[in-house]
Structure formats: C-alpha cells, structure tokens
Amino acid sequence: MIIVMGPGHTEEQLQAVIRRIEEMGYSVHLSRGVERTIVGAVGSKDKTPLHALQQMEGVEAVIPILRPWKLAGREFKREGTVVDVEGVPVGGPKIVVIAGPCSVENEKQIIESARAVKAAGAVMLRGGAYKPRTSPYAFQGLEEDGLKMLQAAKAETGLKIVTEIVSVTDLDILLKYADVLQIGARNCQNYALLRAVGQARKPVLLKRGMSATIHEYLMAAEYCLSEGNYDILLCERGIRTFETETRFTLDLNAVPVLKHLSHLPVLVDPSHGTGHWRLVGPMSRAAIAAGADGLEIEVHPDPANALSDGAQSLRPAKFERLMEELRRVAEAVDRTL
Ligand code: PEP
Ligand code: MN
C-alpha cells in the first residue's frame, strides 16, 4: 500500500502515520518527492486494513500497489531517482560513463587505465578485484591487493570506484574501498547477497542476470530496496538467447521497459552484452539513444594480454574516440555526457 500525504500535511501528522503503520507490523519506506510525500507500507502478515489510515489527519489517499515490485516501481515513486555517488549524480540529465578493465591486474595497468578513461571523460573507474569466473582455474582477482590498487588510482584521478562483490563474507572489506558495489549477472538472484548489500549504505550497481526476466530483475532490486538501500543502479548487460555470434544478446528493449516500470537509473554494459570490442561503439550509441542513464565499458591498455575479457575491451585511444561520438548522440537526445 502507499499512503499519499496531502499537500499541507505537517511533519507531526506524517510521523503519526508512520508510527501507526509500524504498529501494524509493516515496514515503512518514505519517498519525499517534489510534489508529494508518499509512505510505502510493505510486508506485514497482519491483514488489518490499512484503509483505516484514510481517517488520519494529513492523509490524502491510501492506494494499493498493484505491481509486485513495491518499492522499485513508479507507483511508489513517480520521479526518476538520482543516485548520488560521492557527489556524482546518476540518473540526472548527465549520462555517466564507468570505464576500466575487467579485472585489476597490477598497479601499472589500473593506473594507466584510470588516467586514460579520466582523460576521455569517464567519471568512475571499474575493475574487479574479486572475479566470478566460469572456470575455477581462471584468474580469480587480486582481492584486497587489487582494492588497494583501485584506491591508489582513485587518489590520483579522483574517479569513483565501481567494483564487484561476489560473497557476503567480503562485504566489510569492499565497503572500505568501493564507492559502488557491483553485483554481477551471476549473482543477480543471490538473495542473501542482495539483502546484505541492501543493509549497507552504499550505492549498488545491480546487473541483470543473463537469464533473468525483467520481472525477476526488478524483484532482485526489490530485495535491496526492501532492506532500506534506495541507491540502486540497474544495468542491462545482455541475456542468453539462441544466438551464438555474440557472447550475449544485449537487450536494449530493457532500457525503455525498465525506465517505464521503475524510477531507478538504468545503465547499459555493451562490453559483456556483445563480447566483441567492435560492437561496443555501436551498442553504446544505441543505448544512449534508447534512454540509458549511463554506460559501463571495459577499457584495457593492452587488451591482447588482458587476464580477463580482452576480446571485448577497448584500447584507450578507441575509447577516447567513442566518447566524442557519444557526446554527439547524447546531445541529440537532450542529454550531456
Ligand atoms: C564484469 O563486469 O566484469 C562482469 C563479470 O560482468 P557480468 O556480471 O555482467 O558478467
Ligand atoms: Mn568482464
């Protein structure tokens, strides 16, 4: 249910409504919009009708939320959410570009990557220190040493750090270094991990699972939101289809569909979505044209020798040229980059 507070309501009336909802065993989620303050009441087994709240002072309406994604949906929050990543807004008119290598490999590699992507206009640096690899024999990441390298790259360039969490047990360590916790496609439905990052007060970049429907994906976001973390960035990164010519099929339908259903910012990862560096440019341009709020792009100073995902990584010079093109596409759809 959502309880819509009337235009002239007082803070006291709002607090009284919140107390009443909590007494009934619901958890309360507040959305203070520009026009309306909405109180979301979620998840009680108590079937006491919330409609009774209609009688309380300051309340304008009590409306059921029809969609299963109670907090991720536009019913709860009409305006788009702008997530503040240490002063960088995501979801506003400016498109954000997160770029960097798939994995942190050594200090030189990550610093070189950071300098290059910063010079080209990226605002956040990506790089995995904990890698979810298909093979247990493949490079698994440098773990805390890798996080320290990311920290050094941030100290030099000011870029915010986006890095993946693969296990709840690593959360405390990641919270020390990351500005954004990335949940990878393979963990999109790892509910214990989603709840854990939901309890953390740190923005989360939640990638779509490669076989997750939009419904399942929004419910994954709902796990984080229901724990009180509203700073969730969605990221389409390709789904599994019958097609084998590309690594995954980048589902750009997901961009306008998610923007319609949800208030959360929507990013696109054209690197994993295609698996080929040649396709990264065209699909980045298409993603911005489709309304994406940002991109996550793999860039490596020496893709041929990358320890992971070299085939889909751009060289810095190519990334720089792409950013120029993207500025023009952004302008054409009334955005900046
Ligand atoms: C990555 O960003 O390097 C990654 C592993 O992505 P995904 O989880 O989308 O496969
Ligand atoms: Mn990768």
The pairing of strands 59-63 and 2-5 is antiparallel
pLDDT score, position 336: 97
d(CA 12, CA 314): 55
Closest CA to 310 of 278, 333, 277: 277
CA 122 – ligand 1 centroid, Å: 18
| Ligand 1 touching residue 265 (CB < 6 A) | no
> CA-to-CA distance for 126 and 102, rounded, in angstroms?
7
Question: Full-prediction pTM beyond 0.85?
Answer: yes
Instruction: Please identify which residue in the block is written with the tokens 């980045």.
Output: 284
Distance 102 CA to ligand 2 centre (A): 4
CA separation for the pair 79, 90 (Å, rounded): 14
Instruction: Kindly state if the Cβ of 208 falls inside 6 Å of ligand 1.
Output: no
Does residue 272 line the site of ligand 1, with CB under 6 A?
A: yes
| Residues, CB within 5 angstroms of ligand 2 (ion) | 102, 309
The whole-angstrom separation of Cα 231 and Cα 67 is 20
Query: How confident is the model at residue 34, as a pLDDT?
Result: 79
pLDDT at 47: 66
Instruction: State the Cα–Cα distance between residues 200 and 107, nearest whole angstrom.
Output: 28
Tokens of 266: 């929507």
What count of Cα atoms within 13 Å lies in the side-chain half-sphere of residue 41?
Answer: 26
Residue nearest to atom 5 of ligand 1 (CA): 184
Does residue 100 have its Cβ closer than 6 Å to ligand 1?
Answer: no
- Closest residue to atom 4 of ligand 1, CA basis: 184
Residues 6+ apart with CB under 8 A from 101: 109, 110, 113, 126, 127, 298, 299, 300, 301, 306, 313
User: 3-state SS of the chain?
Assistant: CEEEECCCCCHHHHHHHHHHHHHCCCEEEEEECCCCEEEEEECCCCCCCHHHHHHCCCEEEEECCCCCCCCCECCCCCCCCCEEECCEEECCCECEEEEECCECCCHHHHHHHHHHHHHHCCCEEECECCCCCCCCCCCCCCCHHHHHHHHHHHHHHCCEEEEECCCHHHHHHHHHHCCEEEECHHHCCCHHHHHHHHHCCCCEEEECCCCCCHHHHHHHHHHHHHCCCCCEEEEECCECCCCCCCCCECCCCHHHHHHHHECCCEEECHHHHHCCHHHHHHHHHHHHHHCCCEEEEEECCCHHHCCCCHHHCECHHHHHHHHHHHHHHHHHCCCEC
Residue 66's pLDDT is what? 87
Per-residue pLDDT of the chain (337 residues), as tens digits, is 999 999 999 999 999 999 999 999 999 999 988 778 999 998 866 667 788 899 999 999 999 988 999 999 999 999 999 999 999 999 999 999 999 999 999 999 999 999 999 999 999 999 999 999 999 999 999 999 999 999 999 999 999 999 999 999 999 999 999 999 999 999 999 999 999 999 999 999 999 999 999 999 999 999 999 999 999 999 999 999 999 999 999 999 999 999 999 999 999 999 999 999 999 999 999 999 999 999 999 999 999 999 999 999 999 999 999 999 999 999 999 999 9
Looking at the DSSP bridge assignments, the partners of residue 125 are 99, 161
**Nearest atom, ligand 1, residue 126 CA:** 2
162 in contact with ligand 1, CB cutoff 6 A: no
Q: Domains in the chain, please, with CATH?
A: 2-63 (3.30.70.1140), 83-332 (3.20.20.70)
The phi, psi pair for 134, rounded to 5°, reads -60, -40
pLDDT for the residue 203: 98
- In the reported structure, the alpha carbon of residue 117 is separated from the centroid of ligand 1 by a whole-number distance in angstroms of 19
Nearest CA to ligand 1 atom 9: 185
* Residue 132: exposure state from Cβ atoms within 10 A (0-12, 13-18, ≥19): middle
Q: Which atom of ligand 1 sits closest to the CA of residue 238?
A: 9
Nearest Cα residue to 186 out of 170, 215, 162, 166: 166
